[in-house]
Amino acid sequence: MLALSIVALLMAHPMHAEVRHADNLDDLGFPIHQTVKLAARADTESGVSVFEFVQPPMSLGAPPHQHLHEDEFFYILEGELTTLLGDETVAVGPGSLLVLPRGAPHGFWNVGDEPARVLLVVSGSDFDGFFEAVAAELAHAGANADPGAVINAVAADYDIEMMPHLIPEDALSLLPPRPQDD
Which pLDDT value is given to residue 109?
94
- Assess whether pLDDT exceeds 60 at residue 21: yes
Of the two residues 153 and 6, the one the predictor is more confident about is: 153
pLDDT mean over 118-140: 90
- Alpha helices by DSSP H, listed for the chain, are 2-12, 130-141, 147-157
Q: Indicate the DSSP class of residue 74.
A: E
- Assess whether pLDDT exceeds 50 at residue 118: yes
The whole-angstrom separation of Cα 112 and Cα 182 is 34
Which pLDDT value is given to residue 176?
66
- Assess whether pLDDT exceeds 50 at residue 59: yes
Which band of pLDDT confidence, cut at 50, 70 and 90, is reported for residue 156?
very high
In the chain, the DSSP E strands lie at: 34-39, 49-55, 59-67, 71-78, 81-85, 88-92, 97-100, 106-110, 116-123, 160-162
- Assess whether pLDDT exceeds 80 at residue 182: no
- Assess whether pLDDT exceeds 80 at residue 177: no
Which pLDDT value is given to residue 146?
86
Cβ pair 78, 50 in contact under 8 A: no
- Assess whether pLDDT exceeds 90 at residue 86: no
Which pLDDT value is given to residue 9?
44
- Alpha helices by DSSP H, listed for 67-129, are none
